[in-house]
């Protein structure tokens, strides 16, 4: 879905529902659901736990450019919630710390990893402008 190659509306709608139910938290989309993370057992959560702005941007882009039209209101609601939560959290963390972060904690929204991180986290500007 993130690469916009999925053309099946029914499958896309199922992914939208799953993302909304299992991945979308208060601060953005988690890279892997908590249920899936539990199946991995004890491991480093560097890639599997936090909110990565690049993945959130790809989801916003896919929803806006393809899946809102293909799926309908469910996809629009996910897009609106995800965009608002991601932008709000990154903005709040920037105000709090003066930095953009490599990724953000799913449970607290706090910046994690490298900072200042002006790599993919700057994609938040494109999300604000809805420039996909």
pLDDT at 118: 86
Distance, CA of 2 to CA of 121 (rounded, Å): 17
pLDDT in tens, the chain (132 residues): 999 999 999 999 999 999 999 889 999 998 765 665 566 666 566 666 789 999 999 999 999 999 999 999 999 999 999 999 999 999 999 999 999 999 999 999 999 999 998 888 999 999 999 999
Q: pTM surpassing 0.85?
A: yes
Q: What local confidence, expressed as pLDDT, does residue 38 receive?
A: 61
* Domain-wise residue ranges, the chain: 9-129
Q: Write phi, then psi, for 39 (nearest 5 degrees).
A: -70, -25
């Amino acid at each position: 879905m993130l690469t916009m190659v999925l053309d099946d509306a029914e499958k896309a709608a199922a992914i939208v529902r799953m993302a909304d139910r299992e991945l979308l938290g208060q601060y953005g989309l988690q890279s892997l659901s908590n249920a899936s993370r539990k199946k991995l057992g004890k491991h480093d959560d560097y890639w599997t736990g936090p909110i990565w702005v690049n993945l959130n941007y790809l989801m916003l882009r896919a929803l806006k450019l393809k899946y809102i039209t293909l799926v309908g209101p469910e996809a629009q609601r996910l897009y609106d919630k995800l965009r608002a939560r991601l932008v709000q959290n990154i903005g709040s963390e920037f105000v709090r710390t003066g930095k953009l972060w490599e990724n953000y904690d799913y449970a607290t929204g706090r910046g994690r990893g490298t900072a200042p991180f002006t790599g993919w986290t700057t994609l938040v500007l494109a999300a604000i402008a809805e420039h996909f």
